[in-house]
Homo-oligomer: A and B are copies of this chain.
Amino acid sequence: MATTKKTPPVATRNRERSKQKLLRAVGKIIKTGGFSTLGINRVAEVAGMDKKMIYNYFGSLNGLLDEYISSLDFWSNVKGDKLPTEFPNGGHNFVKQMILAQFDYVHQNPEFQKILLWRLSEERDALKTLTARQEANGEVLLQGITDPHFGDNAEAYRAVMAVIIAGTYYLNLFAELNGSTFCGIDLATTGGRKKIEEALAFLIDKTYEGL
């Protein structure tokens, strides 16, 4: 026989594959539409499955959403393996590049934008866990590199970074829907985004110089 009974070429019924289909359906809906269209019927329809399966596998839509959230892995992309080993000047240049890359990453990634938005809109344990993971990730950088460099001003440095990072988040979210201008800067154009990038670089430079 060409094919064995134990491993059929493609199973028509497969728990794990079906679960993945549902998880990907959630991502698809979130990416394109908003959260208002995120109902159990819609998810089942997009996944091409019966909604009963959602109850079977995840207990409820909430369970599915929680598992979707914990399956996300945005932050490890930012840091990850490609971390340098040397950080001259308290990571001045590294931090600058990281912030600029993040500003672009959020812009390019609609799913990430929606998660950011979700975190501002709804209380959900899985989202808090995600936030905690992100914080823990940043803490490595802060404690290992910038805290020692800034000494007594370490907390002041953290506060400045908080404002700057929060700014990149908000501007990207704002640009997505409004498209229009913010403080007279057109965030929909590459020229406008370039101005923001220069401002980010400027603020980081001044922080490393002046703190």
A101 CB within 8 Å of chain B: no
Whether A159 pairs with B199 at a CB distance below 8 angstroms is yes
Instruction: Mark A79-101 against chain B: 1 for CB-CB distance below 8 A, else 0.
Output: 00000000000000000000000
Count of chain copies? 2
Whether A180 pairs with B121 at a CB distance below 8 angstroms is no
Q: Which residues of B contact A173 (CB under 8 A)?
A: 120
Whether A202 pairs with B156 at a CB distance below 8 angstroms is yes
Residues of A in contact with B, size category: 35 or more
- Given known pairs A159-B198, A163-B168, the reply for A178 and B131 (CB within 8 Å) is yes
Q: Which residues of B contact A183 (CB under 8 A)?
A: 135, 138, 142, 158-159, 161-162, 165
Whether A163 pairs with B158 at a CB distance below 8 angstroms is no
Whether A171 pairs with B163 at a CB distance below 8 angstroms is yes
Across chains A and B, which 8 residue pairs bring their CB atoms closest together, nearest first? A167-B167, A159-B199, A166-B170, A163-B167, A170-B170, A162-B183, A206-B206, A159-B195
Measured CB to CB, the nearest residue on chain B to A120 is B173
Q: Which residues of B contact A135 (CB under 8 A)?
A: 180-184
Q: Which residues of B contact A171 (CB under 8 A)?
A: 162-163, 166
A144 CB within 8 Å of chain B: no
Considering the complex, which residues of chain A in the window 1-54 have a beta carbon less than 8 Å from any beta carbon of chain B?
A: 34-36
Q: Once the chains are docked, how many angstroms separate the CA of A138 from the CA of B196?
A: 18
A65 CB within 8 Å of chain B: no
Measured CB to CB, the nearest residue on chain B to A192 is B159
A174 CB within 8 Å of chain B: yes
Whether A203 pairs with B160 at a CB distance below 8 angstroms is yes
Whether B180 pairs with A131 at a CB distance below 8 angstroms is yes
- Given known pairs A167-B167, A185-B159, the reply for A174 and B121 (CB within 8 Å) is no
Whether A210 pairs with B206 at a CB distance below 8 angstroms is yes
Q: Once the chains are docked, how many angstroms separate the CA of A138 from the CA of B199?
A: 19
Q: Which residues of B contact A162 (CB under 8 A)?
A: 167, 171, 182-183, 185, 196, 199
Whether A180 pairs with B210 at a CB distance below 8 angstroms is no
